[in-house]
């Protein structure tokens, strides 16, 4: 069985597993009030105030209508409150990411209140049923927030709701129903099935909080069957690695998991990219000095060409906890690359070059290797594939590395053979001449020009050695622009150290 057939088989299996997701739920209208709740006993959702010492355990519950539980649980009315909202569950138990997120929130904000919103009983149902229950859970949560606000005169401007999968829509419904707006909702790969075409009252939307930021990490598949929602639903919608499968969640890993544990672990494959949204947020909490940047772009394909690495007019933003509040009438799609393990941060570079040749030659899907050498470090043999290489053509492509090389001094490029034996090389090898490279660094916004190290041109020969380019002495780098960028992003003219 070939790779394509095997991949199709896997997706058929997943599609059958999630086939019920397309079932529509009965719509019910919601009004922006929770005054209809008169009996606190009708609230089935539980609200556990966890502690930094015991992030895994629910030791104390805040119960609406029972103000004594506020003091019993040591709720701090002078600090901000995070509310962690889980999604659909197959096991009926909290997944391991919940305690990890609680721990990371306390690590970053030790004096805060971290509340886990427990709706496990309703979440442990047939998916369409649990999806429909998000309305009731959202109403419970809204009433809880209104009760806290009224009981303690607690400003909801201090509240931050973090919802994963179905939990993101719970957060949205709650935010829509509270008497006063909550400060922020973070949607962690909001669920797609039953919500891709839902109205704003029934799903997460920009109107549900003063600021709504969203991480989309599993948007593969047709609309309303995609595990994560495809459409933008926040003020800032970030699509790491294009928003589809994430690094480390590929077919190779799936085959390893199936070989080791059989198809019983198939849900882990499905969750890998979906749950990556949570771990990206945890990463932003724990690795404060390795903050990932995302860049506004119209499409993934454009971003992959390196054409969107601009930070002007809010075109870039931090990912996760320190995302800058950007309110606009139109959602802002943003993209970035990550690596497969924490810390996820990589450095983005746009490389632009022009091909010269005495012969009119053209190639598609060509493997190359690029090495970067800088003032702090170097990274060698970064493998990538160029979609096209043609005589008298200019190309632009995106290059990423997880190594902070500092100020870029030298770039090397090698054109590999796409096979050990190629008919195109039978009558002689192919090569291009390159005069210079233009490089833009996304994280620093520096623009640098590189010229051939020896002579006017460097030869990029198929199957040959590296073509070497060194930084031009006359290269123009907008120092003022880079300085302004550091000040905006890091509140300092020198910026924070990027490890």
Cβ atoms within 10 Å, residue 42 = 13
The predicted structure's pLDDT at residue 499: 47
The predicted structure's pLDDT at residue 261: 52
Q: Hey, where are the domains in the chain?
A: 46-336, 347-418+428-485
pLDDT digits (tens, 9 = 90+) for 340-386: 999 999 999 999 999 999 999 999 999 999 999 999 999 999 999 99
Kindly state the tokens that stand for 175.
């935010």
> Measured between alpha carbons, how far is 273 from 173 in angstroms, rounded to an integer?
25
Residue 418, annotated ligand binder? no
| pLDDT average, residue stretch 234-245 | 95
The predicted structure's pLDDT at residue 20: 42
Task: Spell out a b/e string for 377-412, using b for 16 or more CB atoms within 10 Å of the CB, else e.
Answer: ebbeebeeeeeebeeeeebebbbbbbebbeebebbb
> Measured between alpha carbons, how far is 101 from 115 in angstroms, rounded to an integer?
11
Taking a C-beta distance cutoff of 8 angstroms, is the pair 143, 43 a contact? yes
The predicted structure's pLDDT at residue 134: 98
Q: What is the DSSP letter of 371?
A: E
Residue 200, annotated ligand binder? yes
Domains 46-336 and 347-418+428-485 equal at CATH topology level: no
> Measured between alpha carbons, how far is 61 from 63 in angstroms, rounded to an integer?
6
Q: Which residues pair with 460 in a beta bridge?
A: 432
> Measured between alpha carbons, how far is 471 from 196 in angstroms, rounded to an integer?
48
Domain 46-336 is in which class?
Answer: alpha beta
pLDDT digits (tens, 9 = 90+) for 406-459: 999 999 999 998 654 455 555 457 999 999 999 999 999 999 999 999 999 999
Q: Where are the alpha helices (DSSP H) in 180-265?
A: 251-261
| pLDDT average, residue stretch 265-279 | 80
Query: Is the link from the previous residue into 343 a cis peptide, with omega within 30 of 0?
Result: yes
Taking a C-beta distance cutoff of 8 angstroms, is the pair 219, 243 a contact? yes
The predicted structure's pLDDT at residue 327: 74
pLDDT digits (tens, 9 = 90+) for 134-166: 999 999 999 999 999 999 999 999 999 999 999
Confidence of residue 209 (pLDDT cuts 50, 70, 90): very high
| pLDDT average, residue stretch 17-21 | 42
Taking a C-beta distance cutoff of 8 angstroms, is the pair 256, 271 a contact? no
The predicted structure's pLDDT at residue 484: 64
Confidence of residue 250 (pLDDT cuts 50, 70, 90): confident
Q: What is the DSSP letter of 340?
A: S
Q: Which residues are catalytic?
A: 165, 189, 274
Closest C-alpha to 225, from 23, 63, 373, 54: 23
Instruction: Calculate what percentage of the chain has a pLDDT beyond 70.
Output: 80
Topology adopted by domain 347-418+428-485: Lipoxygenase-1 (2.60.60)
The predicted structure's pLDDT at residue 268: 60
Return the biggest CA–CA distance within the chain.
87
Chain mean pLDDT for the chain: 87
> Measured between alpha carbons, how far is 331 from 233 in angstroms, rounded to an integer?
7
Confidence of residue 482 (pLDDT cuts 50, 70, 90): low
Cβ atoms within 10 Å, residue 488 = 13
The predicted structure's pLDDT at residue 51: 97
Instruction: Calculate what percentage of the chain has a pLDDT beyond 90.
Output: 75
Please check the confidence at residue 494 and state whether its pLDDT lies above 50.
no
The predicted structure's pLDDT at residue 422: 52
> Measured between alpha carbons, how far is 358 from 263 in angstroms, rounded to an integer?
56
Q: Which residues pair with 114 in a beta bridge?
A: 50, 82
- The better pLDDT of the pair 292, 332 is held by 292
The predicted structure's pLDDT at residue 16: 40
């Amino acid at each position: 069985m070939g790779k394509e057939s095997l991949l199709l088989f896997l997706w058929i299996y997943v599609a059958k597993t999630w086939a019920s997701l397309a079932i529509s739920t009965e719509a019910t209208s919601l009004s922006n009030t929770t005054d209809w709740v008169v009996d606190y006993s009708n609230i089935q959702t539980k609200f556990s105030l966890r502690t930094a010492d015991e992030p895994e355990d629910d030791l104390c519950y805040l119960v609406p209508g029972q103000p004594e539980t506020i003091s019993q649980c040591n709720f701090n009315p002078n600090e901000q409150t995070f509310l962690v909202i889980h999604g659909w569950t197959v096991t009926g138990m909290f997944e391991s990411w919940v305690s990890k997120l609680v721990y990371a929130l306390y690590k970053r904000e030790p004096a805060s209140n971290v509340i886990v919103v427990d709706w496990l009983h309703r979440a442990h149902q047939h998916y369409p049923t649990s999806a429909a229950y998000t309305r009731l859970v959202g109403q419970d949560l809204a009433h809880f927030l209104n009760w806290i606000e009224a009981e303690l005169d607690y400003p909801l401007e201090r509240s931050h709701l973090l919802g994963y999968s179905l939990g993101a829509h719970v957060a949205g419904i709650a935010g829509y129903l509270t008497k006063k707006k909550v400060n922020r909702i973070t949607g962690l790969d909001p669920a797609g099935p039953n919500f891709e075409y839902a109205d704003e009252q029934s799903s997460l939307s920009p109107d549900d909080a003063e600021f709504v930021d969203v991480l989309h990490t599993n948007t593969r598949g047709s609309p309303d069957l995609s595990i994560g929602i495809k459409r933008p639903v926040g003020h800032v919608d970030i699509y790491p690695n294009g928003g589809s499968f994430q690094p480390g969640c590929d077919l190779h890993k799936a085959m390893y998991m199936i070989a080791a544990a059989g198809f019983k672990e198939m849900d882990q494959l499905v969750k890998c990219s979906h749950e990556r949204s949570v771990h990206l947020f945890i990463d932003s909490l724990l690795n404060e000095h390795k903050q990932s940047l995302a860049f506004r772009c119209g499409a993934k394909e454009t971003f992959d060409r390196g054409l969107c690495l601009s930070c002007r007019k809010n075109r870039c933003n931090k990912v996760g906890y320190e995302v800058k509040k950007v309110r606009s009438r139109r959602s802002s799609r943003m993209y970035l690359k990550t690596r497969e393990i924490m810390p996820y941060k990589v450095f983005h570079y746009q490389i632009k070059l022009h091909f010269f040749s005495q012969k009119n030659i053209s190639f598609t899907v060509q493997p190359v290797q690029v090495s970067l050498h800088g003032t702090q470090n170097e990274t060698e043999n970064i493998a990538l594939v160029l979609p096209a290489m043609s005589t008298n053509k200019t190309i632009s492509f995106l290059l990423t590395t997880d190594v902070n090389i500092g100020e870029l001094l030298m770039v090397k490029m090698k054109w590999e053979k796409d096979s050990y034996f190629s008919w195109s090389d039978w009558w002689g090898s192919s090569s291009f001449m390159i005069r210079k490279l233009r490089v833009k660094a996304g994280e620093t916004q520096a623009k640098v020009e590189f010229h051939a190290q020896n002579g006017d041109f460097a030869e990029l020969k198929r199957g040959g050695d590296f073509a070497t380019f060194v930084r031009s002495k006359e290269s123009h780098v907008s120092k003022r622009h880079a300085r302004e960028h550091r000040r905006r992003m890091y509140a300092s003219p020198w910026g924070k150290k990027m490890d």
